[in-house]
Each structure stands twice: as C-alpha cells, then as structure tokens.
Amino acid sequence: MFARATSFALRGLRSSLKTPVRGLATRSSIQASHKFSTAFLGAAAVGTCAYLYTLSPNQLIQNEAAPLSGIKGTNSERTFIAVKPDGVQRGLVGEIISRFEKRGYKLVAMKVIVPSKALAKEHYADLSTKPFFGGLVEYMTNGQAPVVAMVWEGLDVIKQGRAMIGATNPLDANAGSIRGDHCISVGRNIIHGSDSYESATKEISLWFGKPGEIVNWTSALGGWIFANN
Ligand code: DAT
Ligand code: MG
C-alpha cells in the first residue's frame, strides 16, 4: 500500500511538471493543476504514512496515554520501583519481582542501570539537605552493583507498593513486608518505591522518559485479577 501510494504520488508529480504552460485556464493547464493538487495530496499522505511508520507502536500508544504514571485510582496507575545496589548484590531481584507479580501487578518497564550522579541527585532532590545525602548518592551510583529500575502498573499500585515495601527504617518495617523480611539497616534498605502519584510521575519520567521505554500490554489474566462483579 505504501509503495503504491508513493508511485502514484510520484507519477502525478512528474506529469504535472511535464505539462507546458499555455496561457490562462486552458484545458491542459486545468488538468495540470488537478494533477499537481493530487500529487501534492499524495505526497502529503505518503509523508504522514512514512512518519507514522517510523514511530514504534508503543510510541503511538504512549502519545495517546496522558501521563506516564497512568490515571490515578484506575487499573492504569503506575509506580516507579527500583531494586537498589544492595538488593541486586544480595540476589533479591527475583524475590521482589515475584511479590509484585503474585499480587497481580503488571511489569511495564525494566532496566539494569548504573545511574549517573545527576540522575541520582535529581531522584533524591527532596533529601539534598540531609546529612546522609552524599553517601546515599555515592552508594546508588558507584557501580559496585547496578540498580534494577522498573515501572509497575495496576489498581492502587503506588500505595500498595509502599505497603509491600515497608517502612524506610527496616527495623520499623512490618514482618511480611519486603524490608521487614530482607534487611535491617536504613542505609541499605534494598528497594525504592514512589510515595505519591506526583513522585511516581516525576520518577517514571526521570528513569523511563525516552519514547518506547514503557510497554503497554494487555494481561491475559486481567479478568482473573480484577472484577467488580
Ligand atoms: P523511602 O525510601 O522509604 O521513600 P525516604 O524517601 O525518606 O525513604 O529516603 C530515601 C532513602 O534515603 C531511604 O530509602 C534510605 C535513605 N535514608 C533515609 N533516611 C535515612 C537516614 N536517617 N539515614 C541514612 N539513610 C537514610
Ligand atoms: Mg522516598
């Protein structure tokens, strides 16, 4: 279809250019002007098709979906979850993914990354005046282990994600939560999760802001995970 449209547009353009000018509104000049309009429209259509073709399907979907953090309070709500370098070193990536999957949430983006200092500082910008800020940025960025950054999607995922993670200080975290079960020190608390819709919006665009990094997909289990009956 694309090839046929291209050849049609080029044929029209060629013949319109070949037609000589013979005074005002002669039959052939009207024909030429029709051909030229057709060619112009054809070329515009081809250009639009070519542009759309260069976009991945994911970009097309993302352009339709409003914020990267989805719509708050719906099944499209999203949160930013990161397994920190200590969680990666300790082999807890699978355990953490498994908890979110088993709860019924959907993984829509993931990458293994050693963040730049600028990224870590921006991510933790609200803590920049704290005495532990320098050490926190150093431990997140020194490359001794990467961060596994993810976006999870589903109903109430921001608040539920925080509950699943547990209190900032693992000694205060409930048993059964990720921190309550797997760590004991605030400086090595293995996981990050967005604490509000606004934070999720900021963090997802910071870590997954490039087009195509987040995948919209439909879970075949959706109807088995969510229903109002
Ligand atoms: P959370 O990660 O639960 O959202 P936060 O945003 O208050 O907690 O802090 C970000 C991280 O900074 C936290 O996960 C670990 C570190 N941190 C917080 N308080 C700290 C403290 N008193 N000493 C050392 N590190 C701390
Ligand atoms: Mg926080």
**Which residue, judged by its Cα, is nearest atom 20 of ligand 1?**
186
Tell me: pLDDT of 4 over 50: no
- The CB of 168 under 6 Å from ligand 1? The reply is yes
**214 and 58 Cβ atoms separated by less than 8 Å:** yes
- The CB of 186 under 6 Å from ligand 1? The reply is yes
pTM (2 decimals)? 0.77
- The CB of 163 under 6 Å from ligand 1? The reply is no
Catalytic positions are: 192
The alpha carbon of 138 and the centre of ligand 1 are apart by a number of angstroms equal to 14
The alpha carbon of 71 and the centre of ligand 2 are apart by a number of angstroms equal to 21
Residue 19's CB is within 10 A of a number of other CB atoms, namely 15
Positions of E strands within the chain: 78-83, 106-113, 147-153, 191-193
**Residue in 54, 47, 35 with CA at minimum distance from that of residue 6:** 47
**183 and 190 Cβ atoms separated by less than 8 Å:** yes
Tell me: pLDDT of 41 over 80: no
pLDDT tens column, 78-109: 999 999 999 999 999 999 999 999 999 999 99
Residue 85 to residue 93: CA distance in whole angstroms: 10
Write down the pLDDT at residue 45. Answer: 55
